[in-house]
Amino acid sequence: MERFFLYDDLEDTKTRFVSFAGKTQRYDLAILQSTRFFGKVLVLDIQFGRFAIIGPDDVEEPGYLEQVYNRTEAETVELREYLTELLA
């Protein structure tokens, strides 16, 4: 079978690993910066195996982080605060 590739690029990325303890839980994140994401970053939640491409507008959108990371509003408060600082 012949494959039809839409793209197959190799790119150097900048990856940051962050782990912090909040009031109710611990967050283990990998944050990847790439030119492919148009100014946004890929944020991987290592503990829960979920990820999203996130920009400042996404952090401000009500319910967005809760949906993509499958967490409650209370569980995303500190994550939202951290990402707001990171993407400022």
Q: How many domains does the chain have?
A: 1
Is 5 inside a domain boundary? Answer: no
Number of neighbours of residue 36 by Cβ within 10 angstroms? 13
Residues of the domain holding 23 = 14-87
Query: What pTM does this model have?
Result: 0.88
Does 6 map to a domain? Answer: no
Specify if 3 maps to a domain: no
**What pLDDT, in 10s, does the model give residues 1-20?**
899 999 999 999 999 999 99
Position 39 in a domain = yes
Query: Does 64 map to a domain?
Result: yes
Asked whether residue 30 is assigned to any structural domain, the reply reads yes
Q: How many CA atoms lie within 13 A of 82 on its CB side?
A: 18
CB-based contact 59:84 (threshold 8 Å): yes
For 7-66, what is each residue's pLDDT tens digit?
999 999 999 999 999 888 899 999 999 999 988 999 999 999 999 999 999 999 999 999
In a domain, 54, yes or no: yes
